[in-house]
Structure 1
């Protein structure tokens, strides 16, 4: 398998790691967002960070603005990496992409051992967002409100010109997504959410319970939509704890909410 694969970044390769964690970025995000996670979890966990088309070194490629199409493309590239236990982690838009990837892997007969859904409401709950229809300044304002983009980028017109097409495409993908029904996951889900997240309520986070038959745990952290930056240490502990449980096959409680 190619360590320089266009779809995946391995910042800290470890061929002997017993489990892989595939990480899916938020809208407008890139694989480098997960560099700190890769560093913190190694060498016990090998992190594969997904690089969507249309950003950084893939900037010249078409941004995929249909979430199901994006999930299908990722699954086709991910199959060779399913030779050892695999878990999925997605933040915001990435949580929904990871969920759709997990469903496809299950249909293929290679299910992940579990799914981490961070900062995103359950797929069955539709929102009324229309950020992708705003003008450029409207999209920039949305990015400022969530504090997920480097402030230096938001005031650099040249940088904005480069990143806004991917941001708009990602918002279109996640805002037009609708859950299609069908079989749900047979593997556990861990939901991570900030206690003051303006776009994901605790009730919406708990609704992920309806998307698995194997148990759902909600971990609540102090902070807003990008709580996982300020609460990185606690997030990393939670990931390692759940990966250990899932790898061992310990049955989770049907539904648990925990305050980090």
Structure 2
């Protein structure tokens, strides 16, 4: 990429975005201008509970507490498709290990909870 760009990310993609920004920087890409994420900074520990290892009914119950409008739990076929992916996403977030890297030189905004 040669044109300036910004990245705005939400939810589970934020750690991926953080790592991707470092990859861009390491490849000599100077175009990254702004990064805006809603998560805690990656060096701060995330979730205290590891819900990805919960039994199915507990896992779903916790997901519904986060977002009660998750429609794929209202349909058994969709649940069977999405549940393994959700577990994988939560595992990625819950087991993420921060590895200090070079600072990102551009505007970086964390507005974490």
Q: TM-score range by the shorter chain?
A: 0.7 to 0.9
Q: CA deviation at 1:175?
A: 0.9
TM-score for both structures, normalised by structure 1: 0.40
Match in the other structure for 2:52? 132
Q: How many pairs were matched up?
A: 111
Q: CA deviation at 1:126?
A: 1.4
Rounded to whole Å, the distance in 1 between the matches of 2:78 and 2:94 is 24
Identify unmatched segments of 5+ residues in structure 1. 1-81, 194-199, 201-260
Rounded to whole Å, the distance in 2 between the matches of 1:159 and 1:183 is 41
Rounded to whole Å, the distance in 1 between the matches of 2:5 and 2:87 is 30
Rounded to whole Å, the distance in 2 between the matches of 1:101 and 1:146 is 26
Rounded to whole Å, the distance in 1 between the matches of 2:95 and 2:41 is 15
With a CA cutoff of 8 Å and minimum separation of 6, indicate the structure with the bigger relative contact order.
2
TM-score for both structures, normalised by structure 2: 0.86
Identify unmatched segments of 5+ residues in structure 2. none
Rounded to whole Å, the distance in 1 between the matches of 2:101 and 2:109 is 21
1:88 aligns with 2:11: no
Q: CA deviation at 1:156?
A: 1.4
1:163 aligns with 2:82: yes
In structure 2, the CA distance between the partners of 1:102 and 1:171, relative to structure 1 (3 Å rule), is same
